[in-house]
Structure 1
Amino acid sequence: MRKKEPNIIVFEHDRLRTDSGEQRLAPIQLKTLQSFYGENGVPYYNLIHNGVRFNEYVGVIQVGNTVIEVLPKGDKTNDVETWRNVLISMLRSVGIFDIHAPSSSDLKVRSNSILDLYFELYIKEVEYLLRRGLVKKYRKSEGNRTSLKGSIHFAKHISQNLVHHERFYVKYTVYDKKHDIHAILYKALKLLSYINTNSQLTSRLGSLMLKFPEQHDIRITELLFEKIAFNRKIVPYRNALEIAKLILLNYHPDVKRGTNDVLALMFDMNLLWEQFVYASLRIHKSKTTTISAQTTKNFWKPITGYRSKLKPDIVLNIGTKDCVVLDTKWKNLNGYNPSSEDLRQMFAYMKFYGANKVALVYPGIENHNKSGLYYDHSKSDSRELSNEECCVIFIGVEKDIKLWQKKINEYVNNWI
């Protein structure tokens, strides 16, 4: 376990510098973040003079022993505990934290950051797998044995056993707990034991390292996880493997110094808001309402080349006269109108989906909407308004996530 440094807590779009501000980056931390940013950049932050400016991504970036926690901000308040709980609740509601699994039903949020929550959830999943018994799989092996089992490998048998007639170099099949799935879980356990700074988790990690059978080292890639077939025996491993994948693929070791590694678990707030609104409407929808997300329609095709498509965030009652299209935006308008680009996009959705109404959905301080009509485009230079409505809906943030989801559904349906 590494020595814990004080957490740095910021909100999206905040700045962290080495030379100003209440919270400051150490020069070595800035160098690490600059190196991690590289030539191609990362979406989580932009580099500024002597510091970084965070974008609309939220979550945690661990730099060495320091955890930088980036929280969402949908209003003018800077209540850390409120927004941390809102973020965790939103992630849970869209399935990022699977709280329905039997192994995580009694998980308690005692964490100082989302990183600790992920670590605890992973520990809980592996503890559950050990209690129910790790699965065995067949694997191919070879080596010298004192009995002839399997098929003999003549070339190696002759080269290694010319003077050892009691031994046989053979290829054979073993049925045990040493296989790639366990190698992934073991590698994630070793990494957590190295980077964890939460003293509450240290003893549980140490116990797991002793109980878990030692595995061969394995090279972690996206393809490795894609090749896993979740049959009946492997299904209970799904949660643990998903967390291991997230941690292992987002860990960037500092190969030069070994003290300023980077682990980035960040979430696009625009995408999370979209999924949260969709989940809220889906949970509380009536039996007569249909709802779909990311419904694609062809929009334009060049004579040669690929087609362009339209893909609104949420469509209610698609293909009917009551069709409504919603597009979610995680931003604060500060009293201004939506951008012309967003309004043009909604107009295209209305035409191509035959929608009765369209709306842009933003987070806000309280629930209210601002309805508007497009100008009549059937006449040239017309100053008359049409009956084609585009509404701007603001959804007030609630601390109680279930109440918030219920109010989102009620407010949108009242507008419809």
Structure 2
Amino acid sequence: MNPITFYEHEKKVWNDIFTEIELNELEKINRVHKCSIFKLLRKEIVATQYVGFIKIKNKTIQVIPKIFKNNDNENLHFLLYMLQYTEKLKIKNFSLTSFNKIDGSFFEVFIWLYARNLLDILKPGIKKQYVVNEENSNFLKGKFLIGEHIKYNNFNNAKFFCSFDEFTEDNRLNQILKYVSNILIQVSKNSTNKKYLKQILFILDEVQLKKVTVDDIDKIHFSRLNEEYRPIINLCKLILSNTTISFGLSKIETFSFMFDMNKLFEEFIYKFIKKHKEEIGIKNISGQKLLGKLFGEFNMYYDIYIKDENNRDIIIDTKYKSPADMNKHYGLSQADFYQMFAYSQSQEKKIENIILLYPKSTIEESSFKHSDGINKINLFIKCIDIQTIWDEKNKRLNKDAFIDNIKECINID
């Protein structure tokens, strides 16, 4: 069954697609993510800025960006590229041409990248590592744990409570791979992916299947002996960090893997500017920073701070919004304007210049200026032309066009 496809901010009549039970599952996913993956209205369901994949029982939903009109492949190519560029997707054998082998499904591409690369690593042999074991043994081996021995064997002199190192394939690294592979084989619908995942699970047959978390992944220590696993383990972390899973009696009932495009767009812009700051003409740049608390309670962050070649301090606030989400004030509410004003006045040295940076759509660039004799703020509406900076034919950025676009955006003379 093909996935139900939503574009960002697209509305659909929910009872044409979902049962009330399935709608309740979507509400649960919203609660687990602590945000609105979907807005659930009386008659409609509305996608938000989150993109990705959701499985509810036998039904799958795909939410994809709508940067390039009427071109799903190009939208997903650019999304995958942004994930790679921001180092969220760090895979050795990464190629956007593989996307066309997986029937154009966003999440199946992730599974294919994971399974294909992991198989290449596992085929020469499964990785064994030393694992510290503690057990009550009939034989004394390794380190004798006196305290534990007294606790468990006070009346049994035939046992020895010991700690010893075992060189085994049943280690944390392989347990992570088996757990993630077991999840993916349950949610994949692609026959090639299922075949690869079955091969992986066969190789890892002697490894315990146990639940792992992102904290378990963070405990993995990489050395020259297991460095080749780092990209795959990073992909496991990416998958587990962005998913919610609900298990039934014997299988996964609901599964979601979602990204916030607001945050991804912000990080993408920041990393590009930082990498090319000399070519753009920027002296200093820093990423998201806590400016302080408004009314002592609400945290205020800016996305990007730069000092241009004219020594002007500028805050760049990225706004990933679709044309349908725009109103006469570029999608900004009165509260947003208050926020911009608070940004400019929050530091000891007032920052007068704020750029709101959008993906280019149907909006036109503009500016607003305010001065009451004491406080001054210049607010600029600027756009990144994704159509120009993305080279779909070669699946890469047009670096020079991107640099020129950023230069135009920070030109506030």
* Normalised TM-score (structure 2): 0.79
CA contact (8 A) 1:56 1:270 kept: yes
Deviation for aligned residue 1:32: 3.4
Q: What is residue 98 of structure 2 aligned with on the other side? A: 108
- Say yes or no: does 1:291 pair with 2:288: no
Instruction: Give aligned-pair identity as a percent.
Output: 22
Q: What is residue 138 of structure 1 aligned with on the other side? A: 131
- Say yes or no: does 1:59 pair with 2:55: no
- Say yes or no: does 1:328 pair with 2:318: yes
- Unaligned 5+ runs, structure 2: none
**d(CA) in 2 for partners of 1:88, 1:300:** 36
Q: What is residue 79 of structure 2 aligned with on the other side? A: 87
CA contact (8 A) 2:33 2:244 kept: no
Q: SS at 2:2's partner residue?
A: coil
Deviation for aligned residue 1:120: 1.4
**5, 25, 29: which one pairs with 1:9?**
5
* Normalised TM-score (structure 1): 0.78
**1:192–1:300 Cα change, 3 Å:** closer
CA contact (8 A) 2:186 2:252 kept: no
CA contact (8 A) 2:303 2:316 kept: yes
CA contact (8 A) 1:182 1:215 kept: yes
Deviation for aligned residue 1:273: 1.4
**d(CA) in 1 for partners of 2:42, 2:398:** 39
Equivalent positions of 1:7-406 (< 5 A) are 7-20=3-16, 24-26=17-19, 29-37=22-30, 42-49=35-42, 52-74=45-67, 77-99=69-91, 101=92, 103-104=93-94, 108-109=98-99, 110-111=101-102, 112-131=104-123, 133=125, 134-142=127-135, 149-150=141-142, 172-248=164-240, 250-255=243-248, 261-286=253-278, 289=282, 290-298=284-292, 310-317=300-307, 321-331=311-321, 332=323, 334=326, 336-338=328-330, 339=332, 340-351=334-345, 352=347, 354-355=350-351, 357-365=353-361, 369-374=365-370, 376-378=371-373, 388-398=377-387, 399-400=390-391, 402-403=396-397, 406=400
The one-letter amino acid paired with 1:317 is: K
Deviation for aligned residue 1:286: 1.5
**d(CA) in 2 for partners of 1:232, 1:188:** 23
Q: SS at 1:362's partner residue?
A: strand
**d(CA) in 2 for partners of 1:253, 1:91:** 26
**1:16–1:156 Cα change, 3 Å:** farther
Deviation for aligned residue 1:253: 2.8
Deviation for aligned residue 1:156: 6.4
Deviation for aligned residue 1:225: 2.9
Could you say what the CA RMSD is over the residues aligned between the two structures, in angstroms? 3.7
Could you give the per-residue CA deviations for residues 206-227 of structure 1, whole angstroms, max 9, x where no partner exists? 2222222521232333432333
CA contact (8 A) 1:277 1:408 kept: no
Q: SS at 1:341's partner residue?
A: helix
**d(CA) in 2 for partners of 1:19, 1:300:** 42
The one-letter amino acid paired with 2:386 is: V
CA contact (8 A) 2:90 2:235 kept: no
Deviation for aligned residue 1:57: 0.8
The one-letter amino acid paired with 1:185 is: L
Structure number, greater radius of gyration: 1
**d(CA) in 2 for partners of 1:47, 1:59:** 17
Could you give the per-residue CA deviations for residues 11-58 of structure 1, whole angstroms, max 9, x where no partner exists? 1222344533xxx23555334334544699643113233663222211
**d(CA) in 2 for partners of 1:390, 1:13:** 26
Q: What is residue 383 of structure 1 aligned with on the other side? A: none
Deviation for aligned residue 1:69: 0.8
Q: SS at 1:266's partner residue?
A: strand
Deviation for aligned residue 1:197: 0.9
The one-letter amino acid paired with 2:25 is: T
Equivalent pairs, count: 388
**d(CA) in 1 for partners of 2:378, 2:232:** 47
Q: SS at 2:278's partner residue?
A: coil
Q: SS at 2:54's partner residue?
A: strand
